[in-house]
């Protein structure tokens, strides 16, 4: 099953998170696309993702996940102890998403913003959908 992570390509925190995932995904389970890209916009439209979701989306087959659920499902598939973080899925979504939304709303102020989407390293380019 294809697993695609859509991320805010101009957000420093989001781009750093993608690099974090790549380093901990030795079996290359995930592919990536920025939300600002044409393919990102096509996938958002295809899956009917609400417009207000602008930071992180995980697409698995015909399903999509957003906010804290997406982050925890991603962690569940990473290498080493990160799957243990999925225990937080038992916390009600409105609580988890409350914390997630605080970070998402402040991500440009805390981590700044780029003028353009991140450019992947040559060795990681095949993981990015164009």
pLDDT tens for residues 58-110?
Answer: 999 999 999 999 999 999 999 889 998 889 999 999 999 999 999 888 988 88
The DSSP line for 42-98 is: HHHHHTT--TT--SEEEEETTEEEEHHHHHHHHHHTSSTTGGGGGGGGGS-HHHHHH
Q: Which structural domain, as residue segments, surrounds residue 70?
A: 3-127
Indicate the helix (H) or strand (E) that contains 102. Answer: helix 93-111
Number of domains in the chain: 1
> Whole-model pTM?
0.89
């Amino acid at each position: 099953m294809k697993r695609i992570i859509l991320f805010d390509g101009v957000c420093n925190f989001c781009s750093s998170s993608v690099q974090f995932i790549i380093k901990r995904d030795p079996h290359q389970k995930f592919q990536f696309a920025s939300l600002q890209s044409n393919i990102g916009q096509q996938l958002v439209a295809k899956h009917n993702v609400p417009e207000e979701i602008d930071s992180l989306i995980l697409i698995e087959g015909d399903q999509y996940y957003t906010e804290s659920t997406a982050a925890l499902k991603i962690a569940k598939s990473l290498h080493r102890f990160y799957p243990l973080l999925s225990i937080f899925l038992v916390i009600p979504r409105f609580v988890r998403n409350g914390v997630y939304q605080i970070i998402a709303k402040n991500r440009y102020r805390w981590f700044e913003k780029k003028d353009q989407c991140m450019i992947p390293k040559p060795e990681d380019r095949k993981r990015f959908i164009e």
